[in-house]
Amino acid sequence: MGMSGMYGPSSDAESIATIHAALDAGVNVLDTGDFYGMGHNEMLLGRALAGRRRDAVVLSVKFGALRAPDGSWIGLDLRPASIRNFLAYTLKRLGVEAIDIYRPARMMANGEVPVEETIGA
């Protein structure tokens, strides 16, 4: 769910209203990535979920993809220390204490970081 400029200009109010409409219609899984809008999408979700029952929604977040200030993709970081840092920022932006599904956006094909280290973080 990219509501942070990935598909052109967006309105925070319209994005939050869309999330509310989805939840009111029975949608109960929200998927995002910490790199969507360079964290902005998570802040939108946090605002949209404020005042709602946390147990009524499953939050799924992808991590590890890196973006330059201009939004271009620059790589992947799946080192355990980086993952813990990504998670801390994600929890803060979402305004929650836990995420239901937390997974890498991609796995590294070159084996630079063993999958066991990534998952173990």
CB contact set of 32 (below 8 Å; sequence gap of 6+): 1, 2, 41, 42, 45, 59, 60, 61, 62
Phi-psi region at 5: left, alpha or beta (left = phi > 0; alpha = psi -120 to 50): left
Residue pair 1/31 in contact by the 8 Å Cβ criterion? yes
For tokens 């946390």, the residue is 54
Say whether 89 is catalytic: no
Could you give the C-alpha distances from 110 to 4, 62, 76, in angstroms and in order?
30, 20, 11
Rounded-to-integer distance, Cα 97 and Cα 114, Å: 28
Name the residues annotated as catalytic. 36
